[in-house]
Copies of this chain bind each other. A is one copy, B any other.
């Protein structure tokens, strides 16, 4: 395995020295493509982006709002004006909104939570109260509960292990969790699994409030009465309309009844501000929580239960609302049935200037530039599709329903899906299928950073070097290569990538536009243009970047997927997992020995009365050889394929067409039709959102979660499933080899 791995590394580092060539183009076509990209840049326009941003964020534009529909029409009209075949793809989806929200602390020091953000004179749109969605978590249960409160830190499974050690149960209690540490929907899910009857989620000032910097309107961070809205639907099981898994929410769709849906939270959940959280947290008794649990409020953080009870009452309008995806298509000049797809959502929780519109306006700028060039005869070879999704915030509604609606066509035609979801000043970032890694690096080397004048790849390398531990700087030095991240959930790539296996990526800039406006009324045009990307310089940088990604994929001779890198990356994940199980085995052995020696008993402070750890079952050795054999074969095939493609500097049209179709469809072989355990909608066997992390990715999810949950039978099954998927993928790529060898 090691030898194969170091071969990959050699191939990877050779990328650095081949910038003259761009992957996917025969040498004779490179300069033409570079000229197209130069022209493309010339059409991009920060002022247009600013105009669109100002209009689209002028009023709250959540699902079902007047402005939401107006925004869809506004964009559709622009796309049409520019020359795109444009449609509003409409679905009817379940979208709950609050009817009743009450939260109060009872007892001798009662407190009634305000649950209301404050209009600011420094923020023009913050006072549009009548149109704003109240602060709430979409897909909370209705409920009216009164109980003691328990503080559960982030509310992830490890936190409950510690509570158990402290002798604290949440059964029959209401929990209060901090935002952060996991995707928000995990918090009520895990709370309910442990018997809690209600859940509050608050923004501790340590995360995005005064601890981080001055609060709005002085600085960009979250003021005391501001609340993070957001969905708590159990999206790690499936996204989209919860009543129509696997199928589109069309008029005639067969729907689950609401009671049959498993992904709506079982308990009432409400997000609150730190102003509202403070009296509740002050009421907590019981042990002081560990240091890593404590936030920045001026109190001692206790685990609870609270001295006084808390009353939480929530009721929702469980209405179906129309959503409006804008789909703008320009047929390719040469390969009209190969689609290069770009998307960003357009719905916001309130005014949504940063999330999502800052990415949306860059996408529009790209579309306009491509259209202008097409008018002058420079039309992409492949079909380009620009999407503006509705309903991403509640649960990726627009993208999921559209993908489910067009699944068969997409499986045949979709070459790549490129997503963005907001943008700010800072550093280039990309996550996605590792088959895209080389191509992404080449693009990043060709886009100039607006603040420094070097390439965005060079700047990212500088940042990585500058912020590395001194001891590891010399290892990084000279390696101007960016390992891209893996994708979990969190935006509209999920249905394309994890449900259909279409190579996908998420692109954006960030790191110098931090703030605490997320999902609040302060994510506004005023906030964005003051703190996140003044002058929209990085809006233009994003358009240059995503535009190149689109244009290279649209015009490539041989599509620039590098499966050798993907194979090497999977090898790396697999090595991690083997190390994980070996590490866990060793840890369990050591822990059990220490427990037998009474080490924890002797070390404990008898006054603290913590429960002592108990002996754990030993961790077995598993037969990983099916995956090892599959990976070894795959690495050989992908390395050979890469070399063969590099050597081919001209191919006839029919060979190219067959080869390209095979290349862009290959990743679909990494799906398993039955999906992952307990969540069949997620089919990709390499990348999935974590069942207990949400946004956070789990690579090789079947194996990894089997091992994490210590479910050995399931892990054994997943080894077989993964090996088969890898073998199918290998067989497909071998076909590519035989096409090339003809």
Interface digits, A579-596 against B, CB 8 Å rule (1 contact, 0 not)? Answer: 000010011001101100
- The answer to whether B296 touches A298 (Cβ under 8 A) is yes
Q: A512 CA to B467 CA in the complex, in Å?
A: 38
Interface digits, A469-482 against B, CB 8 Å rule (1 contact, 0 not)? Answer: 01101100100000
Q: Let me know if A465 is at the binding interface, CB within 8 A.
A: yes
- Which of these, B294, B451, B474, B590, contacts A474 with CB under 8 Å? B590
- The answer to whether A288 touches B214 (Cβ under 8 A) is yes
Closest B residue to A427 by beta carbon equals B603
Please, which residues of chain B bring their CB within 8 A of the CB of A474? 586, 590
Q: A602 CA to B459 CA in the complex, in Å?
A: 6
Closest B residue to A512 by beta carbon equals B605
- The answer to whether B599 touches A451 (Cβ under 8 A) is no
Closest B residue to A587 by beta carbon equals B470
Q: Let me know if A614 is at the binding interface, CB within 8 A.
A: no
Q: Let me know if A656 is at the binding interface, CB within 8 A.
A: no
- The answer to whether B477 touches A593 (Cβ under 8 A) is yes
- The answer to whether A590 touches B462 (Cβ under 8 A) is no
Q: Let me know if A210 is at the binding interface, CB within 8 A.
A: yes
- The answer to whether B603 touches A459 (Cβ under 8 A) is yes
Given A465-B594, A474-B590; A298-B298 close (CB under 8 Å): yes
Q: Let me know if A292 is at the binding interface, CB within 8 A.
A: no
Please, which residues of chain B bring their CB within 8 A of the CB of A215? 300
- The answer to whether A299 touches B594 (Cβ under 8 A) is no
- The answer to whether B300 touches A458 (Cβ under 8 A) is no
Closest B residue to A218 by beta carbon equals B300
- The answer to whether A451 touches B600 (Cβ under 8 A) is no
- The answer to whether A465 touches B586 (Cβ under 8 A) is no
Q: Let me know if A376 is at the binding interface, CB within 8 A.
A: no
Please, which residues of chain B bring their CB within 8 A of the CB of A211? 294, 300
Q: Let me know if A452 is at the binding interface, CB within 8 A.
A: yes
Q: A740 CA to B602 CA in the complex, in Å?
A: 43
Given A288-B213, A477-B593, A593-B477; A599-B298 close (CB under 8 Å): no
Number of copies of this chain that the complex holds = 2
- Which of these, B213, B590, B605, contacts A477 with CB under 8 Å? B590
Q: Let me know if A158 is at the binding interface, CB within 8 A.
A: no
Interface digits, A505-548 against B, CB 8 Å rule (1 contact, 0 not)? Answer: 00000001000000000000000000000000000000000000
Please, which residues of chain B bring their CB within 8 A of the CB of A466? 594, 599-600, 603-604
Q: Let me know if A297 is at the binding interface, CB within 8 A.
A: yes
Q: Let me know if A607 is at the binding interface, CB within 8 A.
A: yes
Q: A173 CA to B389 CA in the complex, in Å?
A: 56
Closest B residue to A606 by beta carbon equals B451
- Which of these, B458, B477, B583, B587, contacts A602 with CB under 8 Å? B458
Q: What is the distance, in angstroms, from A99's C-beta to the closest C-beta of chain B?
A: 34
Q: What is the distance, in angstroms, from A655's C-beta to the closest C-beta of chain B?
A: 43
Q: Let me know if A96 is at the binding interface, CB within 8 A.
A: no
Closest B residue to A215 by beta carbon equals B300
Please, which residues of chain B bring their CB within 8 A of the CB of A134? none
- Which of these, B300, B454, B459, B606, contacts A219 with CB under 8 Å? B300
Please, which residues of chain B bring their CB within 8 A of the CB of A114? none
Q: Let me know if A380 is at the binding interface, CB within 8 A.
A: no
Q: Let me know if A205 is at the binding interface, CB within 8 A.
A: yes
Q: A600 CA to B465 CA in the complex, in Å?
A: 8
Please, which residues of chain B bring their CB within 8 A of the CB of A590? 470, 473-474, 477
Q: What is the distance, in angstroms, from A503's C-beta to the closest C-beta of chain B?
A: 31
Q: A539 CA to B451 CA in the complex, in Å?
A: 65
Closest B residue to A453 by beta carbon equals B602
Closest B residue to A452 by beta carbon equals B602
- For window 584-628 of A, CB contacts with B under 8 Å fall at 586-587, 590-591, 593-594, 598-607
Q: Let me know if A254 is at the binding interface, CB within 8 A.
A: no
- The answer to whether A607 touches B462 (Cβ under 8 A) is no
- The answer to whether B467 touches A300 (Cβ under 8 A) is no
Q: A483 CA to B465 CA in the complex, in Å?
A: 37
Please, which residues of chain B bring their CB within 8 A of the CB of A471? 583
Q: Let me know if A165 is at the binding interface, CB within 8 A.
A: no
Q: Let me know if A650 is at the binding interface, CB within 8 A.
A: no
Q: A583 CA to B470 CA in the complex, in Å?
A: 10
Q: Let me know if A463 is at the binding interface, CB within 8 A.
A: yes
Q: A590 CA to B478 CA in the complex, in Å?
A: 12
Q: A299 CA to B215 CA in the complex, in Å?
A: 10
Please, which residues of chain B bring their CB within 8 A of the CB of A300? 210-215, 219, 221
Given A300-B213, A590-B474; A599-B465 close (CB under 8 Å): yes
Please, which residues of chain B bring their CB within 8 A of the CB of A603? 459, 462-463, 465-467
Please, which residues of chain B bring their CB within 8 A of the CB of A294? 211
Q: What is the distance, in angstroms, from A578's C-beta to the closest C-beta of chain B?
A: 17
Q: What is the distance, in angstroms, from A603's C-beta to the closest C-beta of chain B?
A: 4
Closest B residue to A454 by beta carbon equals B602
Please, which residues of chain B bring their CB within 8 A of the CB of A512? 605, 607
Please, which residues of chain B bring their CB within 8 A of the CB of A454? 602
Closest B residue to A210 by beta carbon equals B300
- For window 219-261 of A, CB contacts with B under 8 Å fall at 219, 221
**List of 3 A-B pairs having minimum Cβ-Cβ separation, nearest first:** A466-B603, A462-B602, A463-B603
* Pairs across A and B, CB under 8 Å, 16 listed: A210-B299, A211-B294, A212-B288, A213-B300, A215-B300, A296-B298, A426-B605, A452-B606, A454-B602, A458-B602, A465-B594, A470-B590, A470-B591, A473-B590, A477-B593, A477-B594
Query: 13 additional contacts, CB 8 Å, given A213-B300, A465-B603?
Result: A212-B300, A214-B288, A452-B601, A452-B606, A459-B603, A462-B598, A462-B599, A462-B600, A463-B602, A463-B603, A470-B590, A473-B590, A477-B594
